[in-house]
Structure 1
Amino acid sequence: MNTNREYTNPLVEQRADPWVYKHTDGYYYFTASVPEYDRIEVRRALTIEGLREAQPVVAWRKYESGPLSANIWAPEIHYIDGKWYIYFAAARTTETKEGLFDHRMYALENTSANPLEGEWTEKGQVRTAWESFALDATVFEHKGVHYYVWAQKDPDIDGNSNLYISAMENGWTLKGPQTMISTPEYPWEVIGFKVNEGAAVLKRGGRIFMSFSASATDHNYCMGLLTADGDSDLLDAASWTKHPDPVFQTSEENGQYGPGHNSFTVDEHGEDVLIYHARNYKEITGDPLYDPNRHTRAQRLRWNADGTPDFGVPVRDGRE
C-alpha cells in the first residue's frame, strides 16, 4: 500500500464543515468552521497531510452587530475567472437563540494570486428567491457554466432546509431559475431536523455526483447522494436522482459519529479523496452545534464497478 495515499486522522482538530481545494499552483487550500464561529481562516500546504500544521491566516472577522455578527458557518474557497471567492453564511447577534437560524449567504473576493495575501472584499449577500434561512453554498463549473448550490428554508415547505441550484451571473450573483433538487423525505434525512445541506460536487464518467448532509448535527448526521447525467439540464429537478439510502454514516465499530459536511479533492497522484468532519464520541452535552469536537478527516474515495462513488465507512482515528 502506498503510504502517500494514507492519512492520519483527525487531519485538523476542531474544524467542522471542512473544505479543501487543490489549485493549479499545486497547493491545497483549506477553510472550515472554527469553534468560535467568529472568523474565516484559510491555510495552505503542498500535501493534504501538510494542512495539519499549516499556519492559518484570518481572511475575515465577524462584525459586532448587524447581519454579519454571529455564527459564521461553513466557508468554502473557490477560484473563478481569475479571482478567489469565499462563500459563507452568517447570522445576526440577538439576545436570544432565536437568531441561531437567521443565516444568510455572503461572498468575499480576493484578486491576489495567493489568497493568503491581499485583501478580501465583501461582495455582499448572495440574493435568492426568498429572504429566509440560507447557508452552505458551493459552486461548480460544467460546460462553461458556473452553478451555485445551497441550502435554504422555503417558507411554504415544512422542514429546515432543501437544496437548490442556480446558474451564476458572476461570482456573487445568481441568474435565471432557482430549482429545488432535493428535500428531506427519507427517514434518515429527518432525524431531529428536516435537513438537506452541505452539498459538494464530484464529476466522473459523464455523470455529476452531489453529496449532501442530512438530519441533526449529532450522531444522526449522515450523507446522501444525488446523481445527474452530465448532458442533462442541471436546472431541471427531474435530472437529479436521489439515492434512497445514506451513503456515509456513523460507524460505531470505528468510533466515528455524525460524519458529514464533506468536500472532495484529489491526492498527489490524482486519486479522489473524501474530506469530512466527525466526532469520536456519541454522547454530547448541550446543543451539538456548540460542541467543538467535530474534527476534519480525510480518507480515500473508491469507486464501484458501475461508476458510482463508494464512500465506505468513516475510518478509525489514527492511520488509515
Structure 2
Amino acid sequence: MQKLTPLIEQRADPFIYKHTDGYYYFTASVPEYNRIELRRATTITGLAAAQPVDVWRKPDTGPYSELLWAPEIHFNERAWYVYFAAAPSRDIKDKLFQHRMYAVRNTNANPLEGEWEFMGQVDTGIDTFCLDATTFTHKGQLYYLWAQKDTGIEGNSNLYIAPMKTPWQLDGPPVMLSKPEFDWETRGFWVNEGPSVLKRNGKIFISYSASATDENYAMGLLWADEDANLLDPASWTKMKEPVLQTCYEHGVYGPGHNSFTYGEDGDTVMLVYHARTYTEIVGDPLWNPDRHTYVKPLKWDDQGMPVFGRPSIA
C-alpha cells in the first residue's frame, strides 16, 4: 500500500475541474482567506508546480470583504463561474459567522486571463449563514447544492438543493436533503457542509463533510437513482456511517471538503480532499493553515457504490 503525500500544501477545500480544453483547473481556500486563486495544468500532478494566478480579491469593506471560503470553478452556460462564500467581518455573532454566497463570471476561454465580473449574491431566499456552493447539470437542468443554517434545526448547517434559472440565480425554493444527526456528524460542531456531486452507475452521489474541522472531520454520502426527482428528499438515501475519516495509523487527520475529477484516461474518478498531518493544533483549527490537498483514485464495489478507503493510502 502506497502512502500518499500532499499534491499541494496549505490549500483547503480543494476543487479540481477537468475541462474540455484538456486542462485541469484548481482552486481552493488560501490561508489568508482574502482572494480567489486559480491554476491550471494538463495533468493533475502538474497542478502542484503550476503558477497560481490571483483572479479576484476581496474589497476592503462591505458584506463580502472578509473570509473568502471554499471557491469552486465551474463552466456553466458558456462561461466560467467561481462560487464562493464571504462575510462582512471576522466577528462571530451568536457563535456563527455571517457568510453569504456569491458568484463571479469570466467569459474568456482561459479563466486565468480576462476580466472577472461580480454577479452578486446567490440568494437562496433564506437570510442565514450559508456556504460551500457547488453546481451540476442533470438532464438539462442546472442545480445548485450548498450548506445553510436553519434556525429551527440544531446545528450550524444542513445540505440544500435547488434548480437554477441562471448560473447565479435560483429557480425554486431550497429543499433540504440532509442534516447532522449521527454521532460522527456532531463532534465539536453539528455540521453538514462541502457537498460534491458524482454521477456514475445509474446513480447521483453527493459526498459531504461533517463535524469540527480538526481530526473529527469526516465525509458522508447520499445517493439517488439518476431517474429520480432530485428535488424530492425521499429520492435520497443517506449512509449511516462515514465513508472517509481520520487514519491514525498513517497520520492523516480530518479528511474532507472534497471534490471529484477524472484521471488523464478520462474515466478513472479521482477523489480530491484536504487533510492535516498532525492533531496538535494551537488555537482555533480554522486559523491553522496546514490543511493540504490530496488526490487519490476512487474505487468501486460490485454494487456500483464508491469505495473511499482510507485517506492515507492509494
Q: TM-score range by the shorter chain?
A: over 0.9
1:299, 1:315 within 8 Å by CA — same for their partners in 2?
no
- Partners of 2:228 and 2:96 in 1: how far apart? 37
- Partners of 1:176 and 1:285 in 2: how far apart? 43
1:247 matched to 2:246? The reply is no
Secondary structure of 1:116 counterpart: coil
1:7, 1:298 within 8 Å by CA — same for their partners in 2?
no
Secondary structure of 1:176 counterpart: coil
- Partners of 2:253 and 2:4 in 1: how far apart? 17
The aligned residue for residue 271 of structure 2 is: 274
The aligned residue for residue 84 of structure 1 is: 80
Q: Structure 1 length normalisation: TM-score?
A: 0.95
Spell out the pairing of 1:280-299 with structure 2 (5 A cutoff).
Answer: 280-299=277-296
1:165 matched to 2:161? The reply is yes
2:3, 2:312 within 8 Å by CA — same for their partners in 1?
no
Q: Structure 2 length normalisation: TM-score?
A: 0.97
The aligned residue for residue 52 of structure 2 is: 56
Task: Return the offset for 1:157.
Answer: 1.3
The aligned residue for residue 18 of structure 1 is: 14
1:27 matched to 2:50? The reply is no
Task: Return the offset for 1:177.
Answer: 3.0
Secondary structure of 1:101 counterpart: coil
Secondary structure of 1:9 counterpart: coil
- Give the partner amino acid of 2:281: I
- Give the partner amino acid of 1:165: I
- Please list every run of 5 or more consecutive structure 2 residues that lacks an aligned counterpart in the other structure: none
User: Deviation digits for residues 216-273 of structure 1, max 9, x if unmatched?
Assistant: 0000000000000111100001111100000000000111000000000011112110
- Partners of 1:193 and 1:60 in 2: how far apart? 31
1:110, 1:121 within 8 Å by CA — same for their partners in 2?
yes
User: Deviation digits for residues 157-202 of structure 1, max 9, x if unmatched?
Assistant: 1210000000000110001232000000000001111100000000
2:145, 2:161 within 8 Å by CA — same for their partners in 1?
yes
The aligned residue for residue 107 of structure 1 is: 103
- Partners of 2:255 and 2:228 in 1: how far apart? 30
- Give the partner amino acid of 1:32: A
- Partners of 1:16 and 1:97 in 2: how far apart? 21
User: Deviation digits for residues 76-114 of structure 1, max 9, x if unmatched?
Assistant: 0000111000000000125x4439610000000000000
Number of equivalent positions: 312
Cα–Cα, structure 1 residues 7 and 72, in superposed 2: closer, same or farther, change >3 Å?
Answer: farther
- Partners of 2:178 and 2:4 in 1: how far apart? 34
Correspondent of 2:125 among 105, 129, 133: 129
Cα–Cα, structure 1 residues 294 and 59, in superposed 2: closer, same or farther, change >3 Å?
Answer: same
Cα–Cα, structure 1 residues 115 and 7, in superposed 2: closer, same or farther, change >3 Å?
Answer: farther
- Partners of 2:89 and 2:221 in 1: how far apart? 34
1:161, 1:195 within 8 Å by CA — same for their partners in 2?
yes
Secondary structure of 1:132 counterpart: coil
RMSD: 1.5
Task: Return the offset for 1:274.
Answer: 0.3
Correspondent of 1:226 among 222, 227, 232: 222
Name segments (4+ residues, structure 1) moved above 3 Å: 96-100
Range that drifts further, 99-108 or 222-231: 99-108
1:308 matched to 2:305? The reply is yes
- Please list every run of 5 or more consecutive structure 1 residues that lacks an aligned counterpart in the other structure: none
- Partners of 1:57 and 1:124 in 2: how far apart? 22
- Partners of 1:177 and 1:230 in 2: how far apart? 21
